[in-house]
Amino acid sequence: MAAPAIPSLDVPALIPANSHYIGGQWVRGSTDETIDVINPATREVLQRVARGREADIDLAVRTAHAAFPQWRDMNPTTRGNLLRKWADLLNQHGHELSLLGSLEVGRPFRGGGGGEGAAGRLPYYASQADKITGDTLPVTRPDVLAFTLREPFGVCGVIVPWNGPLGMMLNGGAAALAAGNTIVVKPAEDAPLACLLAISLAKEAGIPDGVVNIVSGYGPEAGAALPVHPLVRHMSFTGSPESGQKVMEGCAKNLIPLHLELGGKSPQIILKDADLSKVIPLISSNIIANTGQICYAGTRIVVEDSVRPLVVEGVAERLEKVRVGPWYEDVQMGPLINEKQENRVVTYMNLGQEEGAKLVTGGHKLSGDVYDRGFFVEPTLFDEVKSDMRIAQEEIFGPVLSVMGFTDAEEAIEIANGTKYGLAASVWTNDIRRAQMIVRKLQAGQVYVNTYGHSGVIGAPFGGYKNSGFGRTGGFDTIMQYLQVKSVIMDAGEGGRGRGGE
């Protein structure tokens, strides 16, 4: 396979080297140390970003804290309008943002579109900025008025993963901003570029300096400094359960609230009456999307025994035809994010065979020609997987599917619920009553019926049960997480009649 031409993009012209974006301007890192951001398809260095430390986080947080009163007190309609202008700018720069996302994450490039469709989150939450209200509370005396106010926390820290950085940043960041908070973002060191560019466009939209800030760096250095900073009042984290636990420990020291979106091992339950002509293509395309590096990827196929051979055969046939490679045009699946992730996925491929699962297709690292330049593996399908196998229990975060059979719905539910995760699930059947029964028994934060990963419902709350985290993104519930409630009780009479006053 000849290497396709790399689309032209002058990354250094968009994002200066060794620079954070703080207070409405590019700010050089506190040290000369940098991090190489590479293209995982070619190992080419795209830019050397700042290796942020505690001092950089401190500057960003103090800047955000100073900007908070103006942003909090701004007319909420005006605040919403500024967020919409920022969304317009993200759309105008959609080609660059999408291309940066492909360059740093390795996804096949599909053209513009506002950078992963992320810009749509801004106007959605912007429209809620002036819908934030409190409640009038019932009282027993006519001369007493009681009500609640919902107020922003202040500085919110947002730690972003590498698998969908721009969208993940705005999932929580847009809601926090609409609620009147200021934010400090720490993007993943593997993929900070789209986030850096997006935040640098906020100033042009008219958002006051210091409201949005971003510090690049490693998790144990820059990321760890965020939740323990005394001026940070709320945290949002998306990533692995192991890293999430460390962030939670930091939040506990600072006694601040936290939204966590962690890993998944999502089941797709297929009953014998399901439309396999719809199921098989969707399962196959879902697992290769972003090379399987999606938290809610439907990696466990839980299928009724009578149709299991048809599902296995159909999925295997499709996976064997997947075009893997760098870049775009006819490529369907790109590389994994880095060598560490490649080694992890290959280890699980080998482990599945050692555990006794049947390798139907794939199972290897790709090599030769362009594959030697990046981190490429084969889409992989295992059959005859047992629920207690590690490949059925642990998040692999790669293009690996595990097939498990069942004889009745209760067994399917037991298998589906039989991991520590509970992020997403799906049920495939033409019997809606049966689907409703299964849906109610599944331990998952988002359940699909006869579809999976439908992105057209931006207002659906998304988040996990069990070890997949807590809190939600999407819907009005999200903006409520970035507000705290103040109760107000007013005596409109003679006064002095509080507890003990009578």
Token representation of residue 498? 């509080």
Spot the catalytic one: 156, 195, 251, 295. 295
Token representation of residue 485? 């409630």
How would you list the strands of the sheet with 400-406, edge to edge?
358-361, 380-383, 400-406, 300-304, 267-270, 424-428, 446-449
DSSP 8-state secondary structure symbol assigned to residue 7: P
Per residue in 347-361, is it b (16+ CB within 10 Å) or e — as a string? Answer: ebbeebeebebebbb
Residue 90: strand, helix, or coil: helix
β-partners of residue 420 are none
Inter-CA distances, 27 with 73, 75, 201, 221, Å: 27, 29, 15, 18
Three-state secondary structure of 349-361? HHHHHHCCCEEEE
Inter-CA distances, 428 with 9, 269, 448, Å: 43, 6, 9
Spot the catalytic one: 96, 104, 261, 342. 261
Residue-wise DSSP of 193-211:
HHHHHHHHTTTTTTPPTTS
Q: d(Cα 123, Cα 164) in Å, to the nearest integer?
A: 19
CB 311, CB 301: distance < 8 Å = yes
Query: 151 catalytic, yes or no?
Result: no
Query: 261 catalytic, yes or no?
Result: yes
Give the pairing type, strands 25-28 and 19-22: antiparallel
Token representation of residue 258? 């936290």
Q: Is 436 exposed, middle or buried (CB count within 10 Å of its CB: 0-12, 13-18, 19+)? A: exposed
Catalytic (active-site) positions:
261, 295
